[in-house]
Structure 1
Amino acid sequence: MKTEKFYDGVSSFYDDMISFESNLARREDFYKKIFNARGKTADLGCGSGLDSIALAKSGFDVTAFDPSEKMIESLNRKAELYGLDIESRKCRMENIPAEFDGSFDYAVSMGNTITHLNKKNLKEGIKRAYEILKPRGIFFLHQLNYDYFIKNSIRINSIKTGARIIVRFYDFSRKKARFNILEFAPEKPKDYRLYSVTHYIHNHEEIKAVLFKAGFNEIAFYADMNLTPFEREFSKEMFILCRK
């Protein structure tokens, strides 16, 4: 399934799956901590708008990019609800128009977005992230640490319970993973919906090399949003802070 179709499909329950409301305040606090001055910010792969809304509520001037029409619509509805002015564009990270070059103080790419990019598109996407930043601009991105998942034979990422059961799980191969979302009502488990999309596995060294090649010269890896040092064998996630 293409990335756009996958996220269009899960858009109706996506906010419940990621606990949108409960995570919003946490994201606001986090961005105030790592970006010590308000500025123009690009959200690359904005999804339903968790980071865009958090940033805009914190005083940042946000432009959001995502290839899913449904996700962009979800973001726009929230921006209107919160009374926020957020520009949105339907496009992939590697295809950001040249009109945005040198426009942003900050760029973020959260929610495991870069796993949707194959090796070639990852290089192009990171290059575009570099090009849209102003001199000394900061790029903050996130990806699961698949080395940890594969080493420990972990296939289930999360299980969300409630009116609907939502299970996120993986089928791993050497260079790719099939990311699956299974969704059903507890009383009718046979009436399930299953959505699947390819995730490309980029390890710590590969991401660092691509960032350096794009031009980023200060790169730090962390294990969580508390900026705990990253450990390849023990950290479930990678949070990467780099400067142009």
Structure 2
Amino acid sequence: MTIEFYQANAEAFFNDTVGVDMHSLYQPFVAALPAKACILDAGCGSGRDSKAFLDMGFNVEAFDASSEMVQRASAHTGLSVSLCSFTDFDKPTHFDAIWACASLLHVDENELPAAISALINSLKYGGLFYMSFKYGNSQRVKDGRTFTDMNEDRFSSLISQFPELTIHQLWLTEDKRPNRNERWLNIIVMKNH
């Protein structure tokens, strides 16, 4: 259902998101990364964040589950963006960091642990993993997309399934897009030995 939404609305979504200034969200993430770190942009959408990280000098790989978004992200970034889902991605302990901005929120809450587990498998020990969810405590469908909202309690319950992860930082922000009044839960976790 969600992929079909992005297939049908890729151009509008690209245009609505590619120019949004996200630098205040990048800062806590990149500040803890080594120079030229290898970042995975998981569910990259328009490729906006991949391009920003490339421009900062990082090595970036990206994937998305929508072929229409992959096409646009590849053109925008110059990367060969992969077409795959969270659970299909398989590059064990390859990345210094993972960026999953507004992407895991489309995974059904019952499938979210498997998606996170697959991504963790691609993260090096000591690596950072950023994810963001719309702030709330339910799963819902809106405009043909599934949303798994997250608050502090729901995230604590989710993360308790992963003893190798510790919360590095957790904070709330307002939506960066104009004419939006939604709040977001931003999380950075670290993968421990």
Q: For the superposition of Structure 1 and Structure 2, which TM-score range results when normalised by the shorter chain?
A: 0.7 to 0.9
User: 1:62 touches 1:87 (CA, 8 Å); kept in 2?
Assistant: no
Deviation of the 1:128 alpha carbon: 1.3
> Structure 2 CA distance, aligned partners of 1:28 and 1:117?
23
Match of 1:6?
A: 5
SS in 1 for 2:50: helix
Aligned pairs, number: 183
User: 1:94 touches 1:122 (CA, 8 Å); kept in 2?
Assistant: no
Does 2:142 align with 1:179?
Answer: yes
Deviation of the 1:28 alpha carbon: 6.0
Deviation of the 1:25 alpha carbon: 5.7
User: 1:93 touches 1:125 (CA, 8 Å); kept in 2?
Assistant: yes
| Corresponding letter in the other structure for 2:172 | A
> Structure 1 CA distance, aligned partners of 2:30 and 2:148?
31
Match of 1:39?
A: 37
The worse-fitting range, judged by mean Cα deviation, of 59-68 and 196-205 is 196-205
> Structure 2 CA distance, aligned partners of 1:28 and 1:141?
12
| Corresponding letter in the other structure for 2:146 | T
Change (3 A) 1:25 1:117: closer
Match of 1:92?
A: 85
> Structure 2 CA distance, aligned partners of 1:50 and 1:212?
31
Change (3 A) 1:109 1:103: same
Which runs of no fewer than 5 residues in structure 1 stay unpaired? 81-85, 148-174, 181-195, 226-234
Which runs of no fewer than 5 residues in structure 2 stay unpaired? 175-181
Match of 2:177?
A: none
Change (3 A) 1:16 1:207: same
Does 2:64 align with 1:117?
Answer: no
Structure number, greater radius of gyration: 1
User: 2:29 touches 2:130 (CA, 8 Å); kept in 1?
Assistant: no
Percent identity reads: 19
Q: Residues 133-152 of structure 1: matches in 2 within 5 Å?
A: 133-147=123-137
> Structure 2 CA distance, aligned partners of 1:115 and 1:210?
13
> Structure 2 CA distance, aligned partners of 1:204 and 1:38?
32
User: 2:14 touches 2:45 (CA, 8 Å); kept in 1?
Assistant: no
Q: CA RMSD in A?
A: 2.3
User: 1:42 touches 1:108 (CA, 8 Å); kept in 2?
Assistant: yes
Match of 2:178?
A: none
**Normalising to structure 1: TM-score of the pair?**
0.67
User: 1:94 touches 1:121 (CA, 8 Å); kept in 2?
Assistant: no
> Structure 2 CA distance, aligned partners of 1:203 and 1:222?
10
Q: Residues 26-65 of structure 1: matches in 2 within 5 Å?
A: 31-65=29-63
**Normalising to structure 2: TM-score of the pair?**
0.83
Change (3 A) 1:30 1:51: farther
Deviation of the 1:50 alpha carbon: 1.2
Change (3 A) 1:15 1:23: farther
Match of 1:224?
A: 173
Deviation of the 1:240 alpha carbon: 0.2
Deviation of the 1:144 alpha carbon: 1.1
Does 2:190 align with 1:200?
Answer: no
